Structure 1
Amino acid sequence: MRIGLDYRAATAAPGSGPARQVLALERALRRRPDTETVLFTEAPLDHPHRAIAVAADLPAAPPAPGLRRRWRFEAGFLPSALRAQQVDVYIATAEGGLPVWRKPAAVRQVLLLHDLFRLTLRRPRSSPWRALASRLIDEAAIGHSIASADAIWTPSRYTTAECGRLYPAHAHKLYVLPDALAPLPAAAERSRLSRPLPPRYWLLVGTREPRKNADLFLRAWLDARRQHYDTPDLVVVGSPADVPAELQRLNGVHWFEQVGDEELARLYLDAERLWQPSYAEGFGLPVLEALAAGTPVAVAEGGALEEVAPGDMPRFDPHDRPQLAELMIRLSRESVVGNAEQRRAFAQRFAPNAYAARVGALLDELLKTRKK
């Protein structure tokens, strides 16, 4: 059997979260017996991925707008490339990305759908007309892939429920494939970090999008700090530019930008607790990365984050600033529940072996329905 995999995320942004999941899926597919994995991407002529993938040409000049590029790949390149490579199953990984037309009839199609926030959340810093145009384009692209997919794999029950709510006619295609947790690299020495760490700190990872809720979280932390002097410092992996100006230079907040894997491992390992305050999250990989380091977490209620944290870890309303500040004050005084080994064991449920087994089971289910 030949399985085609959409490799564009790994080519365009190899260190990103989507790319890491594409690489994890590639590793899982290559472990499957009697299976050949064929990668499909777009890249400039001098890109190294052209040696390992079937690639559409991407000129070295400034790239075309996203919609034009996607049309060129998904309508112009992909259908004939799938036919030429005699692919049996094709897995799209770009919140869409299945062939727009002329798809070979025998190819089974899988959509890896992380979330639907492009359809359900308001777009930040965008004019009303641009936001409307982007939403209509996303609705068309995502809706096409959901309609044409034989199976839709989502990372959480939360995303599955959202997809079923928005596209009830296709709810029977939905299956949960939790994201893979890659093994943590060896942690960098403190002396090699880009800036020194405070002796005691909490950790926040990710500030780029409004749904990460960094604004409210920082304000709640500031409230707690004013009421209780022993509230730990805060280390934030992200950019100060993602929050309002009055929150960018708070005393006790330490910003880390462009963090490498070894440096991030050190931040997880030494943190007293990871906080994940997102009010909308398709999965929540930083929570599992912290747990894999043995570090306790506190997560927002009401989304996928509740699925990736042990039941004894604190939860909070991501919209209730006073409640969050009270929880911070309480946790700064209390000892941590459970032990590091229990947290590491919980994270192993999402390790590569478990992920590969789930991918295999989903492929078996897909091929079984083909025979009916």
Structure 2
Amino acid sequence: MRAAVDCHMVASPRAGDAGNGRYAAQLANSLAATAHPGDDAWALVAEPGALARLDLRVRHAGLSPNNARRLLASAPRVLSGIRADIAVFTYVGPFVGRTPVALAVHDATFVTNPEWLPARARVMLQRLVPLSARRADRVLALSRTAAAEIEDALGVPGDRIRVVSPAVDPRFRPDGGAAAARVADALGVSGRFCLAVGDVNPRKNLSALARAVARLDDLNLVLAGSPGATSDPVLRDPRVRWLGRVGDDDLADLYRAAAVTAFPSLHEGFGLPAVEAMASGCPLVVSNRGALPEVVGDAAIVTGTSTDEIAEALRAALEPTAADRLRELGPRRAAAYTVEAMGEAGWAALGRPA
């Protein structure tokens, strides 16, 4: 079977593309890692830096970086040229061409909570995703929670939705304690800190997190992620250290060095930073929204989204006995999210014969 993944957002400098691009690259890499004889995994790339993030076993072809040209011309042409049996697109697929499409929809917040999105993105997603979902042969969700949300919000029949959860990169693992020195040297981060990872936008609930962290003695807040489509007030908070987007090696060290990672998002279709934190052995606090409780199980403290609730959860996670328990449970829970598991789920979802 020949499967292609639209990776046009991989290595994109645009705000908001980090999570989508990471999933697309992971899917292409996971398909290549679990390919059977006769299988091919292709990545359709548009950015010069994309190939550095792809497994050497992934074959690749170029796409136009312009969205309209990509969907109306270059993607259908490339897919026909490589004779793809199926292609994965994120949110919006091509409306021309004969190659079957699996549409990856990370969440349906553009329907359920459109106020979280910039106006242009909101209108585009509301118009094009339902059309793409109806045209697609199948829809990929990142969690059972997201699958139910997609079925309800977009009207996609449940039997056309398949769950293909992300994989955690093997670099996210506990180490012997040298991470604090490395992040101090590489990033200038020192002392006891709470880490938050992801694009900075209102959905991440970072202002409430900043207020919660301010209530705890001897704890700073460090943010790692792009500023998002609009400026968030949390970036102007003098108590917050914002690093911008950091590379995976530095990010792995940040998880290891952090006293706690917090992910108090108002909604997530999966929440990969939560899995990365668990895999790294960092005590974790997540909100009770979206797929986060499903993803973390009993390996994190699950809380509400108010400042009071987050502050209390952080205190609980930092208590030495609880912190030790979370450091032990986290890597066990994260071990379910492997490249092999993602690849096998991906091939099955795309219709490879068993």
The equivalent residue for 2:56 is: none
The equivalent residue for 2:145 is: 158
Distance in 2 of aligned mates of 1:139 and 1:113: 13
Distance in 2 of aligned mates of 1:239 and 1:79: 31
SS at the partner of 1:37? strand
> In the alignment, residue 3 of structure 1 is paired with which amino acid?
A
* Contact 1:291–1:347, Cα closer than 8 Å, also in 2: yes
Q: Which of 89, 95, 113 is the matching residue for 1:100?
A: 95
SS at the partner of 2:335? helix
The equivalent residue for 2:55 is: none
1:259-298, aligned counterparts within 5 Å?
259-298=246-285
The alpha-carbon deviation at position 16 of structure 1 amounts to 2.5
Q: Using a 3 Å threshold, how does the CA distance of structure 1 residues 125 and 57 change in structure 2: closer, same or farther?
A: closer
1:27-176, aligned counterparts within 5 Å?
27-31=29-33, 32-33=35-36, 34-42=38-46, 53-57=60-64, 69-92=66-89, 94-96=90-92, 98-101=93-96, 103-104=97-98, 107-123=99-115, 131=119, 134-176=121-163
* Contact 1:184–1:292, Cα closer than 8 Å, also in 2: no
> In the alignment, residue 100 of structure 1 is paired with which amino acid?
F
The alpha-carbon deviation at position 341 of structure 1 amounts to 3.9
* Contact 2:3–2:40, Cα closer than 8 Å, also in 1: yes
Distance in 2 of aligned mates of 1:161 and 1:149: 17
* Contact 1:203–1:273, Cα closer than 8 Å, also in 2: yes
SS at the partner of 1:197? coil
Q: Which has the higher contact order (CA 8 A, sep 6+)?
A: 2
> In the alignment, residue 70 of structure 2 is paired with which amino acid?
F
Calculate the TM-score normalised by the size of structure 1: 0.79
Q: How many equivalent residue pairs? A: 336
Distance in 2 of aligned mates of 1:24 and 1:47: 12
Distance in 2 of aligned mates of 1:276 and 1:9: 24
Gapped regions of structure 1 (runs ≥ 5): 59-68
The equivalent residue for 2:309 is: 323
The equivalent residue for 2:233 is: 244
The equivalent residue for 1:194 is: 187
* Contact 1:113–1:153, Cα closer than 8 Å, also in 2: yes
> In the alignment, residue 282 of structure 2 is paired with which amino acid?
T
SS at the partner of 2:321? coil
Calculate the TM-score normalised by the size of structure 2: 0.83
* 1:335 and 2:321 matched: yes
Q: Using a 3 Å threshold, how does the CA distance of structure 1 residues 312 and 189 change in structure 2: closer, same or farther?
A: closer
Q: Using a 3 Å threshold, how does the CA distance of structure 1 residues 47 and 301 change in structure 2: closer, same or farther?
A: closer
Deviation larger for 282-291 or 350-359:
350-359
The equivalent residue for 1:64 is: none
Q: Which of 170, 174, 194 is the matching residue for 1:183?
A: 170
* Contact 1:237–1:255, Cα closer than 8 Å, also in 2: yes
SS at the partner of 1:259? coil
* Contact 1:95–1:115, Cα closer than 8 Å, also in 2: no
Q: Using a 3 Å threshold, how does the CA distance of structure 1 residues 12 and 272 change in structure 2: closer, same or farther?
A: closer
Q: Using a 3 Å threshold, how does the CA distance of structure 1 residues 11 and 189 change in structure 2: closer, same or farther?
A: closer
Deviation larger for 72-81 or 5-14:
5-14
* Contact 2:299–2:326, Cα closer than 8 Å, also in 1: no
> In the alignment, residue 103 of structure 2 is paired with which amino acid?
L
* Contact 2:288–2:303, Cα closer than 8 Å, also in 1: yes
Bigger Cα Rg: 1
* Contact 2:213–2:311, Cα closer than 8 Å, also in 1: yes
Distance in 1 of aligned mates of 2:288 and 2:274: 13
The alpha-carbon deviation at position 173 of structure 1 amounts to 0.6
Q: Which of 18, 21, 25 is the matching residue for 1:19?
A: 21
* Contact 2:91–2:105, Cα closer than 8 Å, also in 1: yes
Gapped regions of structure 2 (runs ≥ 5): 53-58
* Contact 1:297–1:309, Cα closer than 8 Å, also in 2: no
The alpha-carbon deviation at position 117 of structure 1 amounts to 2.2
* 1:209 and 2:201 matched: yes
